[in-house]
Amino acid sequence: MLPSEVYKSLEIPRNVLSLTIMKLFATLCALCLVLSVRGQQLPQYTQFQKNPYLVNPAATGAHDMFNMSLGGRLQWVGLSNAPSTTYLYLSTPASKFRSAFMNRTYGKVTRNNKSVKHPKMRVGNVIQGFGGQLLADQFGAFRTLKFAGSYAVHLPINRDFTMSFGTNAGLSSHTFLSDKAQVLSSMTGTGVNDAVYNAQVNTGAQYVMDIDAGMYFYGNGFYAGFAAMNLTKDLVRFGNLNTNFAPVMHFFGSAGYRFAVNNSMDVTPGILVKYVQNAPVSVEANVLMDFNNVFWTGITYRHLDAVAFLAGTTIKEKFRIGYSFDLSISRLIKYNSGGHELVLSYIFGEKRRSFSRI
């Protein structure tokens, strides 16, 4: 048998797979919406649907475009020493490194009675994605700086669906900022020394090896992923060994389904679940509306924590701006005026593949 015949013989029927996916997505949403949980683990990202690489390394290279994004987030504005995050990341499939004559060929196919741009499938082909990330996160008296590289391999299941596996590996530095900490002796002026605080002053940074891993299933408008962060915890560390920063594993699950309302509007409901041992689970659900793939807006509900409003636009098919505002609904609402997240992206190649339909 020819390779293409072998591939077709193993191909899962599209109607069976699509029906299974829709049932799985409905079950996942029902389960997550009844969880009475909340939590704050790794840096928060309200715009996770537009930037899936931040919550799952297996999404690296899933969009057939080069994407370099600079983002900043201020959480609980007005609250002293509230979390703040700045990051720079890039994601691209390997094809974007090739010269023009080596790029994949593209044709047109009919989907939902509409002619859309679509890449010609090379049966059995493997797509590789590469990326990188710089992150600076500060919460209270603790600061984390992270540098990491990402790799993902995308394996076609059939003509419509793909499964990818990815990893993120790098180095993090964790620092205790003594000037940001408040201890009882300084607050009351008793002159009693805090032995724990004194032991951490001027101890420097602790460096830890970080390894994350994930899987990502997508196609025909649907996506679902699972990722595990900080897999090695502090197994490999050096520098300041006196401070126990105790990094623990975090688990992220995400899913969404994008469908067309009409020729100019798409709607994508999505959900993100985050879990870390001995801490409450965090669940957030959102709905995004895209208009002509140029302007988008949406709303997010983070259970017992915040309601967020999102909006963004693409400029001249190369620049994308996204903004979100988080309105606290927890007990912290009395002490902060909300949160802001701004993401600026440079992209190219997005129009050449219909991944806008995922």
- How many whole angstroms separate alpha carbon 129 and alpha carbon 345? 18
Taking alpha carbons only, the member of 52, 79, 56 closest to residue 67 is 52
How far from 223 is each of 41, 56, 353, CA to CA, in Å? 23, 12, 16
Specify the pLDDT at position 189.
63
- How many whole angstroms separate alpha carbon 270 and alpha carbon 267? 10
- How many whole angstroms separate alpha carbon 316 and alpha carbon 313? 10
Residue 237's Cβ-side half-sphere holds a number of Cα atoms within 13 Å equal to 20
C-alpha 28, offset from chain centre: 18
* 262 SS3 class: strand
- Domains of the chain: total: 1
Mark residue 108 as left, alpha or beta (left: phi above 0; alpha: psi -120 to 50; beta: remaining): beta
Give the Cβ contact number of residue 312 at 10 Å. Answer: 21
Give residue for tokens 């049966």: 123
Contacts of residue 286, Cβ cutoff 8 Å, sequence gap at least 6: 49, 269, 270, 271, 298, 299, 300, 301, 308, 310
Angle at Cα 174 formed by Cα 206 and Cα 72, nearest 5°?
Answer: 155
The tokens for 22 are: 């829709």
Specify the pLDDT at position 107.
39
The tokens for 295 are: 């302007």
> pLDDT tens digits, residue range 201-210?
767 889 999 9
**Domain membership of residue 61 as a residue range:** 3-357
Mark residue 200 as left, alpha or beta (left: phi above 0; alpha: psi -120 to 50; beta: remaining): alpha
The tokens for 14 are: 């599209």
Mark residue 33 as left, alpha or beta (left: phi above 0; alpha: psi -120 to 50; beta: remaining): alpha
Mark residue 352 as left, alpha or beta (left: phi above 0; alpha: psi -120 to 50; beta: remaining): alpha
- Cβ density class 76-105: b for 16+ within 10 Å, e for less: beeeeebbbbebebbbbbebbeeeeeeebe
Specify the pLDDT at position 13.
55
Specify the pLDDT at position 101.
35
The tokens for 24 are: 């799985």
- How many whole angstroms separate alpha carbon 105 and alpha carbon 102? 9
CATH number at residue 65: 2.40.160.40
- How many whole angstroms separate alpha carbon 166 and alpha carbon 212? 8
Specify the pLDDT at position 8.
45
Residue stretches of the chain with pLDDT short of 50 = 1-12, 26-41, 99-124, 351-357
How far from 110 is each of 220, 264, 291, 349, CA to CA, in Å? 13, 17, 21, 21
The tokens for 251 are: 């688990």
Angle at Cα 49 formed by Cα 48 and Cα 50, nearest 5°?
Answer: 90
With beta carbons less than 8 A apart as the criterion, state whether 92 and 53 touch. no
Give the Cβ contact number of residue 184 at 10 Å. Answer: 11
Specify the pLDDT at position 297.
97
Find residue 94's DSSP bridge partners: none
